Amino acid sequence: MDSSNLRRVSIQILICLFAIFVLNYVNQAVAISVGLAAIALIFFGQYRWQILILSGLLVCLTTFSNIQPSNKFGSTKIDYSTYEWGLIILFWFSILYLAIRYIAPKLEKIISKIFYPWIIFLVFTVSWFIVNYSYKHGYSFGYYIYLPCSASVVSYIAAFYHWKFFYKIKDFPKLFAFLITPWIGRYTFPLPDQPQILFKHMQDFDLYRSHIKAAKVFLIVFALEVIRLIMDATFFGKETIILGFIELNPTSYYFLTIKEALSEISRGTVIKPLDAWIIVILDFIYRLVFLSNKINALIGVAMLFGLPLELNTKNVFKSRSLLDFFGKFNFYYKEVLLNYFYYPIFFRLKMLSPGIRVVVSAFLTIGLANYWIHFIWNTFYSRGQSPFGYLIYSINYLIYALLLAFILSFELFISLKGRRVSYPPIIAFPICILVYSSIRVFDDPFLGNVVNNLKLFLMLFNL
- 79 in the Ramachandran plot: left (φ > 0), alpha (ψ -120 to 50) or beta? beta
Closer of 250 and 327 to another protein (Cβ)? 327
3-class SS of residue 242 = strand
Q: Does 136 bind another protein (CB under 8 A)?
A: no
Choose which of 346, 363, 377, 457 interacts with another protein (CB under 8 A).
346
Helix (H) or strand (E) holding 123: helix 117-138
Closer of 240 and 415 to another protein (Cβ)? 415
Selected range binding another protein among 79-87, 258-266, 347-355, 375-383, rule: CB under 8 A: 347-355
Q: Does 323 bind another protein (CB under 8 A)?
A: yes
Between CA 444 and CA 379 the distance in angstroms is: 11
Between CA 236 and CA 297 the distance in angstroms is: 24
- 433 in the Ramachandran plot: left (φ > 0), alpha (ψ -120 to 50) or beta? alpha
Which residues, 6 or more positions from 162, have their beta carbon under 8 angstroms from its beta carbon? Answer: 309, 335
Q: Does 324 bind another protein (CB under 8 A)?
A: yes
Neighbours of 440 (CB within 10 A): 20
Backbone torsions φ then ψ of 45, nearest 5 degrees: 90, -5
Q: 3-state SS of the chain: helix, strand, coil percent to 5? A: 70, 0, 25
Selected range binding another protein among 110-118, 126-134, 220-228, 253-261, rule: CB under 8 A: 110-118
DSSP string, 278-305: HHHHHHHHHHHHHHHHHHHHHHHHHHHT
Q: Does 142 bind another protein (CB under 8 A)?
A: no
Q: Does 416 bind another protein (CB under 8 A)?
A: yes
Q: Does 332 bind another protein (CB under 8 A)?
A: no
Q: How far is C-alpha 286 from the geometric centre of its chain's CA atoms?
A: 14
Choose which of 21, 43, 116, 141 interacts with another protein (CB under 8 A).
116
- Cβ contact 86:301 at 8 Å: yes
Q: Does 50 bind another protein (CB under 8 A)?
A: no
* Min separation Cβ 375 and another protein, Å: 24
Closer of 239 and 324 to another protein (Cβ)? 324
Q: Does 410 bind another protein (CB under 8 A)?
A: no
Q: Does 350 bind another protein (CB under 8 A)?
A: yes
Q: Does 347 bind another protein (CB under 8 A)?
A: yes
Selected range binding another protein among 62-70, 127-135, 339-347, 450-458, rule: CB under 8 A: 339-347
* Min separation Cβ 305 and another protein, Å: 20
* Min separation Cβ 354 and another protein, Å: 6
- 310 in the Ramachandran plot: left (φ > 0), alpha (ψ -120 to 50) or beta? beta
Choose which of 72, 113, 168, 216 interacts with another protein (CB under 8 A).
113
Q: Does 422 bind another protein (CB under 8 A)?
A: yes
Q: Does 425 bind another protein (CB under 8 A)?
A: no
Looking at the DSSP bridge assignments, the partners of residue 242 are: 247
Residues in binding contact with another protein, number by CB under 8 A: 25
Closer of 196 and 415 to another protein (Cβ)? 415
Which residues, 6 or more positions from 170, have their beta carbon under 8 angstroms from its beta carbon? Answer: none
Which residues, 6 or more positions from 161, have their beta carbon under 8 angstroms from its beta carbon? Answer: 115, 332, 335, 336, 339
Instruction: Give, as ranges, the residues between 253 and 312 that touch another protein (CB under 8 A).
Output: 310
Selected range binding another protein among 1-9, 77-85, 152-160, 408-416, rule: CB under 8 A: 408-416
Q: Does 118 bind another protein (CB under 8 A)?
A: no
Q: Does 339 bind another protein (CB under 8 A)?
A: yes
Closer of 287 and 357 to another protein (Cβ)? 357
